[in-house]
Each structure stands twice: as structure tokens, then as C-alpha cells.
């Protein structure tokens, strides 16, 4: 006899409950408004369509969080039925209607294996509840979720640990590239929902364990660790909600520090950990400035580390962002009280700003065999490039490039210009020579690399035929300059261009 989740899967599939179908149903503008937390345009579109059929019923109930008639639900879920939906904890009857107990919506993505889609259940948000969310709220797929899944390395491995799985979205992504995934969380409700999502989407390779941080995997090691930890810096003060999905219960950024320091102990040689995090900027007791990235560097001693800071927010803006995230509206006494608690906490600890970014760690043994360790701490706040399969493909390529550079004779290397690189030149009116030359990357981190005429000439000649040494010798002869000096000038930039993926080693 089919399991109830199998019946639900069949119903969702036959109703066409997908991201593209919903966008077509209520239109692009309504979809954008819904993303901003405004469901009225989508609701009006469905009303104009006389409910929108089975798809409209499911969307009304599980995406908009509105009640529908029992009759409509029976028609929308012909295999599972109303009683099955009640048994699964999806809805609760109220008279002749049913109202949702969970948010259930389609989710789509593209990685190196191609396009995919799932249905993801989570707790109802503030729009559906009409109030601030409770502290035990299990979050669905948000911006941080899609960011981390996009960063995830995509080479096949045996084991992955998803630390703090929440609704299970990272574990599902990891399962596409791993034989076995262990997903942990401090919340039993989160684990229950994550297990439901895995079963609903037919993924059986995930094991769920209850516990805090690395306690459920004590003594175990993994090929890869992914984590969207509860990194939000929250005052430890009475009356401040401690949301499980974002608050690790520690002071300041200590939760992120703990994860970064402990992760290498749970990696196999050469294993990689990837996580998101916040870190504090400020002044110490002696009045000296504390740089956030410098602090992260101190947490990563003895391992390969690549940290990309994407954003910084001043203390007030950071507090406002996360108070709003919990559903408390500005201008209310509750908002003012929470704002005061946040600012008091930051002031007491000398915090002036908070950074956010991506952390990639690799066990030290990998770099020991490859030469110099990887130590990059950089700020990249521009628009990301468009990488086929996601940014994780580019990150994996950069890790491989670092190892190749550690062993390669760069002078003898035959390099090829990546197809996504373009050159941009700026001239003063009437001048023959450019004043600025920039190399721009279409994929990866969307970097812009300043370049002089010599480096631009070297890069332009990289077609895989001639070595870097031969190219530099030919350019030096044309310019009538010393070849060794020209080579010394461009090699550091060439090395950087290889790491970031603008130049690639030939076969």
C-alpha cells in the first residue's frame, strides 16, 4: 500500500504544482509581490480565475496560507484526500473549511547535474500567521539557503554532514553528490520536517540526528561539511526572542567561531567545509579597531581557508534587519524595545558593524601535499557572475587551480583565456593609448581585474599554444625591454588570474 507521502507526491505532480506553473498562474508581478511578503496581488489573480482549479487551491492553501473549502481540497488532492492531509499534519478542518498548518511550496534549481525541483514543507510564516513567528519556527527556503546551496562543491563524495539542517534543503542538495548524508539539528521539529521533505521527494540517503553542533557526530569524519548555522548575533537579554533557526544561544559571533574551529576535526584529509557566517567589527577595551576578517583569520589557523565577505552592516542596520525578520514591525513599542536591547549589547561589547560572507575550509593535509597553504580573506561586494551549475563549480575549480599552481612551473605553462572573460578599455578623448584596462569575468564571482597594456597583451595571447615564458619573451622583444623583468612583472597577476578562473591550464 502506498505511503501517504507517495500519494501526496502524486497529487502535487498531477496538479502541476511547480515554480513555473505558479508564476504563470498569477503572473510575474504577483510573484514578485509575494516574494516581498505581499500576497494580495496573487490572491486577486486567483479570484479572477475563479480559484485557479487544483493548482489554485493548492497555491491558496499552502503558499498564500489561506483557508479553502473541504470540497476544494478533496478535489485538489484526489489520491491523498482530506483525511490523509490531516493525518500528515498539513491541514486542520474548521467547519466546512480547512486551514493550513504548514507552508508547502515548490522549489526549483540548477546544478552541474542539470535542472531539478522539489516540494519543501516548513512552518507558516508571519504573513500566514498574522503575527510574529514563534521561537521554534522552522524556516523554509530563504535567501541564505539558496546562497549556500549555490556555493556547494559538486564533485562526488562518499559522506556529507549538514550541520543545522533546518527544513533539510542543504541535505537534499548534498544528497545529489554524496552516497550518504548525515543531517543534524537541535530542533526535533526541524528534523521531523526535514525527514518529511526527504521522504516526499523520494530521497532515502539522508540520516537525521538530534543534537547541538557537532555532538551528534562526535568522533566521526566526513568528506564534506555544509552548514547554514544559526549565525545571527542576538542579545542575551530578557524579552529578546531566541529563534532556533537563527540564534545559536552564544554571545556575539561565538557560534560561528565555534563551528569554524571545530569543523576541521570532522573532516577527512583533504575534506572541505562550507558555511555562511557573521563576524563582528569594533573596538577593543584599549580603543584599537577590530577588523572582522582579521578575527576570522585567527579562527582558521592551521587549515586552508578562503573567506569572502559579501556585505557589512552598521550596528543599527543589522539590528533592524533581524528584528524585522522575526516579524516585529517598526514603530511599535516591541520594535523599540528590541532595538534598544540590540544596541545596548553592541555598545557594551564595542561592536560597530557586522560582516556577512562565505567560508570555505579545507583540512591542512591537502595543502601540505600541494605546497603553500590557501589563505585568502577578501571583500567582494559586487554582483556575482553567472556560472553554469552555480558558484560551487567555480569554487571547486579555484581550489583545483590553487593546488595546480603550487606544483606547476608557471613560466612553462600553456594557459587558455576562459570564454567568459572580456576586456574593457577607457581612453581620454583623442588619446591612442588607454588610460584604464579592465578584465571582466562573466562567471564565478564576477571579478574585475585591473590590467596594464603588458598584462592585457599576455592574456590576449593565451590560446594554449605558447608558454607564458615564450609569450613574455615575444612581447619583451616587441617593446624592447628586458624579458626577465617583464616576466617578473606579470607572473603574480597571471597566478591570480589562474586562481580566479580567468586563465585555465592547458591539457
Exposed/middle/buried for residue 162 (C-beta within 10 Å: 0-12, 13-18, 19+): buried
Full-prediction pTM beyond 0.85? yes
- In the numeric block, which cell numbers belong to residue 406? 603550487
Closest C-alpha among 152, 146, 140 to residue 196: 140
Question: Pairing mode, if any, of strands 304-314 and 351-362?
Answer: antiparallel
User: Residue 427: CB partners within 8 Å, gap ≥ 6?
Assistant: 433, 434, 435
Residue 430: which pLDDT band, with cuts at 50, 70 and 90? confident
Angle in degrees, CA 333, 336, 342, rounded to 5: 140
Report percent pLDDT > 70 for the chain: 97
Q: How far is 351 from 355, CA to CA, in rounded Å? A: 11
Residue 1 reports pLDDT greater than 60: no
Residue 304 reports pLDDT greater than 60: yes
Q: How far is 410 from 369, CA to CA, in rounded Å? A: 18
- In the numeric block, which cell numbers belong to residue 507? 591539457
Closest C-alpha among 6, 439, 444, 411 to residue 200: 6
- Are 209 and 163 in contact by the 8 Å Cβ rule? The answer is no
Residue 367 reports pLDDT greater than 80: no
Residue 64 reports pLDDT greater than 90: yes
Mean pLDDT of the chain: 92
Query: 346-351: long-range contacts (C-beta < 8 A, 24 or more apart)?
Result: 346/282, 346/315, 346/319, 347/315, 349/251, 349/252, 349/280, 349/282, 350/282, 350/283, 350/284, 350/285, 350/290, 351/233, 351/252, 351/280, 351/281, 351/282, 351/315
> Across residues 338-354, what is the average pLDDT?
94
> Across residues 210-235, what is the average pLDDT?
95
pLDDT of residue 132: 82
Residue 368 reports pLDDT greater than 60: no
SS3 category, 147: helix
Residue 247 reports pLDDT greater than 90: no
- In the numeric block, which cell numbers belong to residue 242? 531566541
CA 27, 30, 36, 38 torsion: positive or negative? negative
Give the CA dihedral 148, 151, 157, 161, nearest 10 degrees: -20
Tens-digit pLDDT profile for residues 31-48: 999 888 899 999 999 988
Residue 246 reports pLDDT greater than 90: no
pLDDT of residue 191: 97
DSSP labels, 13-27: HHTT-SHHHHHHHH-
Q: Which domains, and CATH codes, for the chain?
A: 4-106 (no CATH), 140-400 (3.40.50.150), 407-505 (3.90.930)
DSSP 8-state assignment for residue 247: B
- Are 199 and 176 in contact by the 8 Å Cβ rule? The answer is no
385-to-74, 205, 209, 305, 448 alpha-carbon distances in Å: 45, 32, 36, 22, 11
Please report how the helices 483-500 and 468-479 are oriented relative to each other, as an axis angle in degrees rounded to 10: 130
- Are 56 and 46 in contact by the 8 Å Cβ rule? The answer is yes
- Are 224 and 271 in contact by the 8 Å Cβ rule? The answer is yes
> Across residues 375-401, what is the average pLDDT?
90
**Phi, psi for 199 (deg, rounded to 5):** -65, -45
Q: Which of 190-204, 361-375, 434-448 bottoms out in mean pLDDT, i.e. has the lowest?
A: 361-375
**Phi, psi for 490 (deg, rounded to 5):** -95, -20
Q: How far is 69 from 185, CA to CA, in rounded Å? A: 36
DSSP 8-state assignment for residue 59: I
> Across residues 478-505, what is the average pLDDT?
94
Question: Other C-beta atoms within 10 Å of 48: how many?
Answer: 10
- Are 389 and 111 in contact by the 8 Å Cβ rule? The answer is yes
DSSP 8-state assignment for residue 444: T
Exposed/middle/buried for residue 225 (C-beta within 10 Å: 0-12, 13-18, 19+): buried
Closest C-alpha among 86, 88, 54, 85 to residue 72: 54
Tens-digit pLDDT profile for residues 5-35: 999 999 999 999 999 999 999 999 999 998 8
Residue 365: which pLDDT band, with cuts at 50, 70 and 90? low
Exposed/middle/buried for residue 389 (C-beta within 10 Å: 0-12, 13-18, 19+): middle
Amino acid at each position: 500500500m502506498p505511503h501517504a507521502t507517495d500519494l501526496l507526491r502524486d497529487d502535487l505532480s498531477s496538479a502541476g504544482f511547480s515554480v513555473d506553473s505558479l508564476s504563470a498562474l498569477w503572473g510575474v508581478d504577483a510573484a514578485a509581490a509575494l516574494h516581498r511578503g505581499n500576497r494580495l496581488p496573487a490572491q486577486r489573480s486567483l479570484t479572477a480565475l475563479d480559484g485557479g482549479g487544483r493548482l489554485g487551491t493548492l497555491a491558496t492553501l499552502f503558499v498564500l496560507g489561506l483557508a479553502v473549502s473541504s470540497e476544494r481540497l478533496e478535489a485538489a488532492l484526489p489520491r491523498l484526500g482530506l483525511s490523509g492531509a490531516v493525518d500528515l499534519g498539513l491541514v486542520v478542518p474548521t467547519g466546512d473549511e480547512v486551514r493550513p498548518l504548514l507552508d508547502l511550496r515548490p522549489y526549483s534549481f540548477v546544478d552541474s547535474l542539470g535542472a531539478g525541483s522539489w516540494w519543501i514543507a516548513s512552518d507558516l510564516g508571519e504573513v500566514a500567521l498574522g503575527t510574529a513567528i514563534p521561537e521554534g519556527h522552522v524556516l523554509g527556503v530563504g535567501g541564505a539557503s539558496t546562497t549556500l546551496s549555490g556555493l556547494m562543491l559538486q564533485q562526488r563524495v562518499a559522506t556529507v554532514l549538514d550541520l543545522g539542517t533546518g527544513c533539510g534543503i542543504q541535505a537534499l542538495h548534498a544528497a545529489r553528490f554524496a552516497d550518504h548524508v548525515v543531517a543534524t539539528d537541535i530542533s526535533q521539529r526541524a528534523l521531523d520536517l526535514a525527514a518529511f521533505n526527504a521522504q516526499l521527494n523520494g530521497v532515502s540517503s539522508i540520516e537525521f540526528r538530534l543534537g547541538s553542533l557537532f555532538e551528534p557526530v562526535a568522533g566521526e569524519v566526513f568528506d564534506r561539511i555544509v552548514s547554514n548555522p544559526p549565525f545571527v548575533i542576538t542579545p542575551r537579554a530578557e524579552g529578546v526572542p531566541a529563534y532556533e533557526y537563527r540564534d545559536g544561544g552564544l554571545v556575539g559571533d561565538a557560534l560561528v567561531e565555534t563551528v569554524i574551529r571545530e569543523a576541521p576535526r570532522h573532516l577527512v584529509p583533504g575534506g572541505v567545509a562550507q558555511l555562511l557566517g557573521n563576524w563582528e567589527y569594533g573596538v577593543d577595551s584599549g580603543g584599537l579597531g577590530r577588523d572582522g576578517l582579521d578575527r576570522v583569520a585567527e579562527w582558521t589557523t592551521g587549515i586552508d581557508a578562503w573567506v569572502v565577505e559579501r556585505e557589512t552592516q552598521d550596528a543599527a542596520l543589522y539590528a533592524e534587519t533581524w528584528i524585522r525578520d522575526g516579524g516585529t514591525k517598526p514603530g511599535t513599542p516591541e520594535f523599540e524595545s528590541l532595538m534598544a536591547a540590540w544596541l545596548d549589547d553592541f555598545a557594551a561589547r564595542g561592536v560597530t558593524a557586522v560582516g556577512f560572507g562565505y567560508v570555505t575550509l579545507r583540512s591542512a593535509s591537502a595543502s601540505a601535499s600541494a605546497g603553500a597553504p590557501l589563505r585568502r580573506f577578501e571583500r567582494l561586494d559586487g554582483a556575482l557572475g553567472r556560472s553554469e551549475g552555480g558558484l560551487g563549480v567555480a569554487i571547486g575549480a579555484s581550489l583545483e587551480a590553487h593546488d595546480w599552481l603550487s606544483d606547476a612551473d608557471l613560466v612553462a605553462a600553456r594557459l587558455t583565456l576562459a570564454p567568459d572573460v572580456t576586456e574593457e578599455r577607457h581612453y581620454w578623448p583623442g588619446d591612442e593609448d588607454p588610460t584604464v584596462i579592465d578584465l571582466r569575468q562573466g562567471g564565478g564571482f564576477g571579478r574585475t581585474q585591473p590590467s596594464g597594456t603588458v598584462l592585457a597583451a599576455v592574456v590576449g595571447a593565451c590560446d594554449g599554444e605558447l608558454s607564458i615564458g615564450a609569450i613574455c619573451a615575444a612581447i619583451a622583444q616587441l617593446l624592447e625591454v628586458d624579458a626577465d623583468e617583464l616576466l617578473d612583472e606579470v607572473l603574480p597577476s597571471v597566478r591570480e588570474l589562474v586562481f580566479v578562473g580567468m586563465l585555465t591550464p592547458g591539457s
